[in-house]
Amino acid sequence: MPDTIVRIDPWNPDRELIARAAVTLSEGGLVAFPTETVYGLGGNGLDPEAARRIYRAKGRPSENPLILHVASPAEADSLADITPNAEKLIEHFWPGPLTIVLHSKAIVPLTVRGGLETVAIRMPAHPVALALIEKAGFPIAAPSANRSGRPSPTDAKSVFEDLGGSVDLILDGGATRYGVESTVIDVTGNDVVLLRPGGMSVEDLISVVGSVSSPDGEHVLKRSPGTRFRHYAPGIPLLTWREGEEIRFAGDEHGKKRRVISYMGMRRFPEETLRSIYFEDPENYARGLFSAMRELERSGAEVIIAEWPEVEGVGRAIQDRLRRASGGH
């Protein structure tokens, strides 16, 4: 195993290892670490140079802003103007897979914010992430630890696969629990606006704030630059399929080695396939989707066919990721 990858107990993280990782961050280095959503590529969130290293390592456009990870709600107060909606949501859902966008204070470098007046903040529900942020003593900027455009990493091996040479340390805390990224919402105003569906369901948000608006594509593009880019895509074509539907092949995929990712309909899948990955419910589908994409890509498959889930709960986030991974096919 490469020596940048170090195992860490996700429930009871080793203090010396956390201290070592925190020193790496305070010296301007990059540390990949597990959260409850996916693995993050962490750097000092108040250091513009560290932010530039993150963009470079990921090959990420510098106008696609980074999420700041904090270890407490009080830490968010020092970074942004907390609105009443934000306060309510923080109380209910932090720590957890919910990122809130707020008006930024001057302390957050513009590089981190991709030049915007707003900043995105989250308190992760993972002992390793929380211990690291606490020990560092500053917020950690941490986008998903993949090359830009690739499926997000849900284990340390996938981080190494994408970023091996450009990260100083990878804390390996095993597979992540949600498997999809956080839900991102704009709470700068009275209206709560969904910018990216994710691990926290819209139904849960509505139960606390009454309503959540989902602006059309163009609006989201303006408000959340990251959604503009092609994303989450394996190195082979991915098509989506709904039970009872014919598969609409986009090009010459017909004779190719097809593999299926499915959660409900696999047994009723219309054509024989050589190998499939089956999940028993939407939660497990979300948890395993990105690693399934990577696994099938490594297995020599030429086309991935992924089942299109219902929109409820985490299904909304799965739909979003499949849409972007398939480029709309």
Please give the Cα distance from 39 to 59 (Å, whole number). Answer: 17
Enter the tokens of residue 260.
């299926």
Nearest-approach distance from CB 184 to ligand AMP, in angstroms: 5
Q: Beta-strand (E) ranges in 187-241?
A: 193-196, 238-241
Given a contact cutoff of 8 angstroms between Cβ atoms, the answer to whether 110 and 226 are in contact is: no
Q: Which amino acid type is present at position 119? A: V
Of the two residues 91 and 117, which places its CB atom closer to ligand AMP in the complex? Answer: 117
Nearest-approach distance from CB 52 to ligand AMP, in angstroms: 16
Question: Should residue 143 be labelled a site residue for ligand AMP when binding is judged by CB under 6 A?
Answer: yes
Please give the Cα distance from 63 to 66 (Å, whole number). Answer: 9
Q: Which of residues 203-232 bind ligand AMP (CB under 6 A)?
A: 223-227
Given a contact cutoff of 8 angstroms between Cβ atoms, the answer to whether 36 and 199 are in contact is: yes
* Residue at token pair 């606390």: 208
Question: Should residue 113 be labelled a site residue for ligand AMP when binding is judged by CB under 6 A?
Answer: yes
Question: Should residue 145 be labelled a site residue for ligand AMP when binding is judged by CB under 6 A?
Answer: no
Of the two residues 33 and 278, which places its CB atom closer to ligand AMP in the complex? Answer: 33
Contacted entry of Mg ion, ligand AMP, none for residue 121, CB cut-off 5 to 8 Å set by kind: none
Contacted entry of Mg ion, ligand AMP, none for residue 316, CB cut-off 5 to 8 Å set by kind: none
3-state secondary structure of 24: helix
Among residues 301, 322, 320, which one has the least CA distance to residue 240? 322
Given a contact cutoff of 8 angstroms between Cβ atoms, the answer to whether 113 and 65 are in contact is: yes
Please give the Cα distance from 191 to 212 (Å, whole number). Answer: 7
Among 67, 133, 140, 209, binds ligand AMP (CB under 6 A): 67
Question: Should residue 64 be labelled a site residue for ligand AMP when binding is judged by CB under 6 A?
Answer: yes
Binding segment for Mg ion (CB under 5 A), chosen from 62-70, 142-150, 265-273, 280-288, is 142-150
Question: Should residue 144 be labelled a site residue for ligand AMP when binding is judged by CB under 6 A?
Answer: yes
Question: Should residue 144 be labelled a site residue for Mg ion when binding is judged by CB under 5 A?
Answer: yes
Among 57, 80, 170, 184, binds ligand AMP (CB under 6 A): 184
Nearest-approach distance from CB 144 to Mg ion, in angstroms: 3
DSSP for 100-148, please give it. Answer: EEEEBPTTS-TTTTTT-SEEEEE----HHHHHHHHHHTS-EE--BSS-T
Question: Should residue 83 be labelled a site residue for ligand AMP when binding is judged by CB under 6 A?
Answer: no
Of the two residues 64 and 273, which places its CB atom closer to Mg ion in the complex? Answer: 64
Say if residue 84 is preceded by a cis peptide, omega within 30 of 0. no
Nearest-approach distance from CB 201 to ligand AMP, in angstroms: 17
Please give the Cα distance from 151 to 203 (Å, whole number). Answer: 25
For ligand AMP, the binding residues (CB under 6 A) are 64-65, 67, 101, 113, 116, 118-120, 143-144, 181, 184, 195-196, 223-227
For Mg ion, the binding residues (CB under 5 A) are 144
